[in-house]
Amino acid sequence: MSDLHEALRENVRSLGESLGRTISGQRGDGFLDRLEQIRKLAKNARGADDAARDSLLQVLHNLSDDEVLPVARAFTQFLNLANIAEEHHRVRRRLEITDVCTPDSLCSLFARLHQRGFDAKTVASTLSEMQVDLVLTAHPTEVNRRTLIQKYDGVADCLRGLDQGESSEQRLNELISQIWHTDEIRQQRPTPVEEAKWGFAVIENSLWKAIPEFLKRLDAQLDETLGERLPLEASPVRFASWMGGDRDGNPNVTAKVTEEVLLLSRWMAADLYFRDVDALRSELSMVKANDELRRRIGVDCAEPYREMLGQVRSRLANTKAWIHAKLKGDPLPDTPVYHCSEELLEPLMLCHKSLTDCGMGIIAKGALEDIIRRIACFGTSLVKLDIRQSSDRHAQVFEELSQFYGLGSYNGWSEEGRQNFLLKELQSRRPLFPRNWDPSAEVQEVLDTCKVVAQAERNNLGSYVISMASQPSDVLAVILLLRDMGIGHNMRVVPLFETLDDLDNARDCIAALLDVDWYKQYTEGHQEVMIGYSDSSKDAGQLAAAWGQFKAQEGLTALCKERGVHLTLFHGRGGTVGRGGGPSHTAILAQPPGSVDRSLRVTEQGEMIRFKFGIPEIAVRNLELYAGAVLEATLDPSPGPEETWRQQMEHMAQQGLASYRDVVRHDSQFVPYFRAATPEQELAKLPLGSRPAKRRQDGGVESLRAIPWIFAWTQIRLMLPAWLGSDTALGEAVKGGQAPLLRTMYKDWPFFRSYVNMLEMVLAKSDPRIAAYYDQQLVSEELGVLGSSLRGRLQKTVDLVNEIKQQDELLVDHPIIRQSIDVRNPYIDPLHFLQAELLNRDRTQPDQRLEQALMVTMAGISAGMRNTG
């Protein structure tokens, strides 16, 4: 392992030297010396050297407007290159243990479950039946441009080549030079279609290779450990997407965009399969085939597999041409195309069976099985597209319609009145919408979206998610709209419970829905519910939100079990603790017992998609972690909390909620302080994603999306959303003599342990001294009192976590994470100090050069922190 760490240090050093040579070549040795001076001063300042800190601040303050941008770019790109080296190091470590059954590997889990009394067939059948959907979202936290991501991938390829003895130095230096001479910041926001294409690129460049490798490893470990096999058509993990379907508060996602993304997704899948089948056809030159394959071909030929695959290839080409014509609005060709997985799978399974029957099983297990495994995961649509829209947009449709019919105001009716109206219309045979009705543009867009969804292939669609859902009528309204537009199947319509009040009401809402006989029949025995992490945390603080989420899941699980309905929980997690982030497998195992029952959906967003799935070897590892955690949580969940733990948690959640809201909602200085101390206002200029930073441009913090809310606090290292409220709740518990109880809860309750560990991780990335410098530069003396108070509370939270875990400093049991943070700090610190300087300059004398440098500091801090929002 020491050799691996030495290799990591060598990679970081060589990448840094290459970047230095590039910078020196453009700006001269004097500028490079200035950068090295800044780095050394930052490193010494980390060691509590006040003189070094003062010198560092003076050097940064003396930078001219022409110098700040290249300085910011230099430190930003070094951090990006350090990230690449670290990811490559993770791959090396992973490859070292490929054939070893480690304690956290699937083979160990299979053996452990067998020892606990689960027979081999139960484990294998549960694994085969599992449906874990990883939902790729376009939430704007990926600050890097796609063109730079491709160059970073090229750098990673060079590092792999160097490990294998290849001569990659020249290419490596060329790529780093390209990176330096490329703008970090997009000139324009990406469109929703461009976001979707970025998601497709992650699949093409990494997951397309990772999925068959993951499934083959799963099958092999199942066979070696338990003597069972994973069916070729089974894929416990699949992918869905919100890119091009999430229109909640994003006016750029229109019905036309959704239709285009649905078609592009199918085209991309057909193109990838076409390439695979074309390559496989060149390999399968064998002449021996069984009678079934020869009958299916229908002609006598010397090379039956090539003939069969040639037919598949032709139909895939037809599919691409048909989709292309539809995208262009041209007449559709009258040729056979693939509409579903079964059509594509059937001829390939015939080839597989024939090869096996004819003694060529080793050939069947090669590239042919890889294609079959990919079809099991990706189908013919690559990803299933979810639709998301706010409940008030659906209500607006019926408000305008009820006014047109002279029925009064739909929005003014009681919930019972709305349900009666919707159920009556759902069972009516006449059309809902009159021919001479002229709805508003907003309503027409909702109707157009429902029409696109209704006309889409069933296999292309995931769920229809309703944000800000709180009543059964919110769900029934969507079903009625889809039905009236002619949808041919019962699409999953999923309420998203986001605020704390909505979470508390979730069980009653679903109970009222399942009380409706018509609706329960519609569900066909399967109810999906989405749990919101981002907005509930922003609404109530992390501690109260986490407990509210836990209780909502408990209530929903018990309810659906009573009603004989299978529940799938959809977790709207983000990359940061403030948005439900943290290690996925520990989060799954910390859920209430029974809430993970063979199925789970979870969002993967922004830069976390690239970190988790951008490199095939790392993607395989994360897929194994998801599959293993869901299997274990299904068969052998942890017991629920003891009553004393529950009471303690309820008490702390109430204290945390009151403490959090006292500051965020009730302190008149909070919003002015937030806007002065953080780059929240300037963040809107950073062209991250296709959607606006606010739901309403005239609103305050309550209208700010959860991502920029957390992004802004992360930039100044105060990390307020992750700990505010917890300081009071944990502090009162410890003060009241409950520290031993908290330690027992940490040791024996996965939920509380996961909460404390995630809190510890984010606290380790916080830095009161950095936050204080932002105050010093940007905040008035009056508002600075609040800032000082918050920093004191942050330090108190650190002390409390250390007391609960009985340690002297954070991350004692996670030295690799601690080292990673410590190594990056000397490169992030100058960006923080520079950002505060730039904010000060830009707010007094706005300048385009300063704005560009400011945005680069945001990107650099994001790269150094490894998660943003």
pLDDT digits (tens, 9 = 90+) for 271-298: 999 999 999 999 999 999 999 999 999 8
Per-residue pLDDT at 200 exceeds 70: yes
The per-residue pLDDT for 702 is 60
Query: Closest Cα partner for 616 from 91, 11, 82?
Result: 91
3-state secondary structure of 492: strand
Contact between residue 192 and residue 690 where contact means Cβ atoms under 8 Å apart: yes
Q: pLDDT, tens digit, for every residue of 203-240?
A: 999 999 999 999 999 999 999 999 999 999 999 999 99
Query: Taking a C-beta distance cutoff of 8 angstroms, is the pair 325, 333 a contact?
Result: yes
Residue 767 has pLDDT above 80, yes or no: yes
**Per-residue pLDDT at 808 exceeds 70:** yes
**The Cα angle at residue 144 between residues 138 and 145, in degrees rounded to 5:** 85
Return the closest-CA partner of residue 830 out of 22, 52, 5. Answer: 52
Q: Is the model's pLDDT at 558 over the cut of 80? A: yes
Q: Tally the residues of the chain.
A: 869
* pLDDT-derived band at 704, boundaries 50, 70, 90: low
* H/E segment holding residue 177: helix 169-180
Q: Give the model confidence (pLDDT) of 438-455 as tens digits.
A: 999 999 999 999 999 999
Please check whether residue 642 is in contact with residue 239, taking contact to mean a CB–CB distance below 8 angstroms: no
Q: Tell which residue, 460, 455, 521, 459, has the closest CA to residue 487.
A: 455
Residue of 139, 320, 384, 612 marked active site:
139
Give yes or no for residue 843 having a pLDDT over 80: yes
What is the 3-class SS of 724-785, one letter each residue? CCHHHHHHHHHHCCCHHHHHHHHHHCHHHHHHHHHHHHHHHHCCHHHHHHHHHHHCCHHHHH
Cα(136)–Cα(382) distance, integer angstroms:
12
353 is catalytic: no
Question: What SS3 string covers 386-433?
Answer: EEEEEHHHHHHHHHHHHHHCCCCCHHHCCHHHHHHHHHHHHCCCCCCC
Res 749: pLDDT? 97
| pLDDT tens sequence across 593-603 | 999 999 999 99
pLDDT at residue number 852: 87
Dihedral sign computed on CA atoms, order 826, 829, 831, 837:
negative
pLDDT for residue 690 is more than 70:
no
- Percentage of the chain beyond pLDDT 70 is 94
Q: What is the 3-state secondary structure (H, E, C) of 552-581?
A: HHHHHHHHHHHHCCEEEEEEECCCCHHHCC
Nearest one of 21, 124, 132, 126 to 77, comparing CA atoms? 21
Q: What local confidence, expressed as pLDDT, does residue 579 receive?
A: 41
Our measurement of the distance from residue 85's CA atom to the centroid of its chain's CA atoms, rounded to an integer in Å, reads 22
- Residue 760 tokens read as 């510890």
Q: How confident is the model at residue 94 (pLDDT cuts 50, 70, 90)?
A: confident
For the cut 90, the answer to whether the pLDDT of residue 591 exceeds it is yes
CA atoms within 13 A of residue 85's CA, in its CB half-sphere: 24
pLDDT at 143: 57
Q: What is the pLDDT of residue 705?
A: 60
pLDDT band at 398 (very low <50, low <70, confident <90, very high): very high
Q: Is 538 a catalytic residue?
A: yes
Tens digits of residue pLDDT in 143-157: 567 788 889 889 999
User: How far, in Å, CA of 675 to CA of 843, rounded?
Assistant: 12
- Residues 404, 457 contacting (CB under 8 angstroms): no
Q: Cα(869)–Cα(852) distance, rounded to whole angstroms?
A: 21
Confidence of residue 102 (pLDDT cuts 50, 70, 90): confident
Q: Can you spell out the DSSP letters for 506-529?
A: HHHHHHHHHTSHHHHHHHTTEEEE
What pLDDT does residue 338 have? 97
Q: What is the pLDDT of residue 139?
A: 52
Question: Is 461:526 a contact under the CB 8 Å cutoff?
Answer: no
Please name the residues in contact with 44: beta carbons below 8 A apart, sequence gap of 6 or more. 52
Measured distance CA(321)–CA(325) in Å, rounded:
6
Residue 287 · residue 300 · CB < 8 Å:
no
Q: Which residues contact 340 (CB under 8 A, 6 or more apart)?
A: 379, 380, 457, 459
The catalytically annotated residue of 197, 538, 551, 805 is 538
- Lowest-pLDDT range of 158-162, 523-527, 608-612, 864-868: 864-868
At 379 the pLDDT is 97
| Cβ(188)–Cβ(146) below 8 Å | no
Other CB atoms within a 10 A radius of the CB of residue 566 amount to 15
**DSSP state for residue 461 in the 8-state scheme:** E
Eight-state DSSP code of residue 348: H
| Summary mean pLDDT of the chain | 91
Residue 576 has pLDDT above 50, yes or no: no
**pLDDT at 138 > cutoff 90:** no
Backbone angles phi, psi at 601, to 5 degrees: -125, 140
Greater pLDDT, 478 or 105: 478
Predicted pLDDT of residue 528: 98
For residue 631, the tally of other CB atoms under 10 A from its CB is: 24
- Per-residue confidence (pLDDT) for residue 105, from 0 to 100: 83
pLDDT for 235-275, tens place per residue?
Answer: 999 999 999 999 987 899 999 999 999 999 999 999 999 99
Q: What digits encode the pLDDT tens for the residues 292-319?
A: 999 999 888 899 999 999 999 999 999 9
578 pLDDT above the threshold of 50? no
The distance in angstroms from the start CA to the end CA of the chain is: 33
Containing H/E element for 391? helix 391-404
pTM of the model: 0.93
Other Cβ atoms closer than 10 A to 167: 8
Question: Does residue 849 carry a pLDDT above 90?
Answer: no
Q: What are phi and psi of 604, to 5 degrees?
A: -120, 125
Between the alpha carbon of residue 245 and those of residues 135, 256, 440, 520, 712, the distances in Å are 12, 10, 21, 26, 26
Q: Is the pLDDT of residue 140 over 50?
A: no
User: Is it the case that residue 186 has pLDDT exceeding 80?
Assistant: no
Task: Name the nearest CA neighbour of 786 among 698, 671, 673.
Answer: 673
The residue with tokens 């981002």 is 534
Q: In 3D, which of 239, 296, 289 has the Cα closest to residue 269?
A: 239
Q: At residue 607, does pLDDT exceed 90?
A: no
Where residue 697 falls among pLDDT bands split at 50, 70, 90? very low
Specify the residue for token string 């109530």: 540
Q: What percent of the chain has pLDDT over 90?
A: 73
Q: How far is CA 536 from CA 9, 27, 580, 682, 773, in A?
A: 41, 48, 10, 25, 30
Among 173, 368, 158, which Cα is nearest to 279's?
368
Higher pLDDT, 343 or 844: 343
pLDDT number for residue 577: 38
- pLDDT above 90 for 50: no
